[in-house]
Amino acid sequence: MVSEVTLQEILAFQEKKAAYLATMQRQYTNCIVVCLGLNIAGPRKTDDDILYAFKEGCKAIEKVMVEKKLQCIQAKTFRDKAGYAKVYTITQSNMSSVKKEMIHIEEEHELGRLFDIDVYGMGGLGIHRKELGMPPRRCLLCKKEARVCMENRTHSVQELEKVTHEMISRYKGVRGE
């Protein structure tokens, strides 16, 4: 049986992450926090495929951290019925360039459209694509802005779930997994 998540559980999950983020920022002033979550439509936020995609997202971020010599002070994984998340606390570095690297993953990784990578600086302030002159996120299914399709409920949960799992299966298939 697949367990379906409730709105309360989603909110509780978000609160748990936000509280941890605040703790990190109190503990390490001037740090930058990178938070990986997944864009999964509908009430089923966890299964083997979704966990697999999440781990691939972690790998992509960790690769960039090595390449760009970003020093990770702490990393914490959240696994919950409401989803998966990993929060990386890194020493002070250029927030815009970190965000650009994360946008690059979201845009270029084969599973990138499923990743949602937020970057926060001092005081928990996030940095957004718009501030960097980057285009908004695209929808999983069509060429429109993701936000527009979400607000208008353009696509059914079933359609979104289907395309999500197809994307992950394809990715795994190429790798013989």
Residue 74: C-alpha distances to residues 15, 70, 91 (Å) = 19, 12, 10
DSSP state of 81: T
CB 40 within 8 A of CB 50: yes
- 8 Å CB contact between 113 and 163: no
User: Nearest 5 degrees, angle CA 108-CA 113-CA 119?
Assistant: 85
Contact 127, 99 (CB under 8 A): yes
Q: Which is nearer to Zn ion, 35 or 139 (CB)?
A: 139
Instruction: Say how far apart CA 119 and CA 109 lie, in whole Å.
Output: 18
Q: Which is nearer to Zn ion, 16 or 144 (CB)?
A: 144
**Binding flags for Zn ion, 145-174, as an x/- string (CB under 5 A):** ----x----x--------------------
Binding part of the chain for Zn ion, among 21-29, 72-80, 107-115, 132-140 by CB under 5 A, reads 132-140
Please identify, using beta-carbon distances, which residue of 93 and 154 lies nearer to Zn ion. Answer: 154
Stretch that binds Zn ion, among 10-18, 38-46, 127-135, 137-145 (CB under 5 A): 137-145
Query: Considering beta carbons, is residue 80 or 107 the nearer one to Zn ion?
Result: 107
Q: Which residue of 103, 111, 141, 160 would you call a contact of Zn ion, by CB under 5 A?
A: 141
Contact indicator for 38, 114 with CB cutoff of 8 Å? yes
Q: Is 142 in the site for Zn ion (CB under 5 A)?
A: yes
| Residue with tokens 């949960």, as numbered in its chain | 157
| Residue 137 Cβ vs Zn ion, minimum distance, rounded to whole Å | 11
Q: Which residue's Cβ has the minimum distance to Zn ion?
A: 139
Binding window for Zn ion (CB under 5 A); candidates: 5-13, 71-79, 138-146, 156-164: 138-146
Q: List interacting residues with Zn ion (CB under 5 A).
A: 139, 141-142, 144, 149, 154
